[in-house]
Amino acid sequence: MKTDSKGTAVITGASAGIGVIYADRLARRGCDLVLVARDKERLKSVAARLTQETGRSIRVVAADLTNQTDLTGVEDLLRSDETVHVLVNNAGVGAPAQLLDSSVERLTGMIELNVSALVRLTHAVLPALLERGGAIINIASVVGIVPELLNGVYGGTKAFVLAFSRSLQKEFANRKTRVQVVLPGATATDFWQIAGTPLEEVPNGMVMKAEEMVDAALAGFDRGEFVTIPSLPDIADWEAYEAAREKLIPNLSLSSPARRYRAA
């Protein structure tokens, strides 16, 4: 039976993989949904199933977020829909492991989707969320902190998502909006095939089921985490990494070069 809505969650990349699972989990938590992706028929199939199973109100928006007209339409929705309280920036694409295996046009398109669209959608929804409360969940990747594992441009886009999320967290820490950035490792979705690296080539012990990844991410959200790394066994390792990074900050911009760079 349908209960009162907990507001609307807008999920990008919602026609398959991680986006579909977020849609399922958030609908079952009582959220109405706006599902955004390029494939309208797949979106309608997801919406029909979840409406039947959960009774939630689910709208679909067929949009290519690298197309300016489509992107502007989603931005307008985020600005105008007063029920939106969650934005899940999940849409993204990868590239083959070697830089020169991709055309520069494909790499540019990846940057437009993974970086530019994410920033524009966040910028569109943030003013309203700061007023009425809500959350922004950005899906990054562990390659954001270890870009040497895969294509460096892809790693760079995910490093941007982490850095951007960190800046949002700092700038709006005392406001009503939560920010979470999720850093999955290899996850069993069609991402790999689209990126040009078959999942079968990834060691099985490194690959997490998408359902388990999303459930872990939402558990991290419920715990109030800013950064969630679903497969990291000991959170103290991340805390040590952060402490080492923060230790650098006071000395990153000084009036004189370090002694080792001074002329003898």
Q: Does the active-site annotation cover 154?
A: yes
27-48 residues labelled b (16+ CB within 10 A) or e (exposed)? beebbbbbbbbbeeebbeebbe
Helices (H), the chain: 17-28, 40-54, 68-80, 104-111, 118-132, 152-171, 191-195, 210-222, 235-248
Please name the residues in contact with 193: beta carbons below 8 A apart, sequence gap of 6 or more: 199
CA dihedral 25, 29, 35, 37 (to 10 degrees): -20
Question: What does the alpha-carbon distance between residue 23 and residue 57 come to, in Å, rounded to a whole number?
Answer: 12
Catalytic residue among 22, 154, 241, 261: 154
Catalytic residue IDs: 154
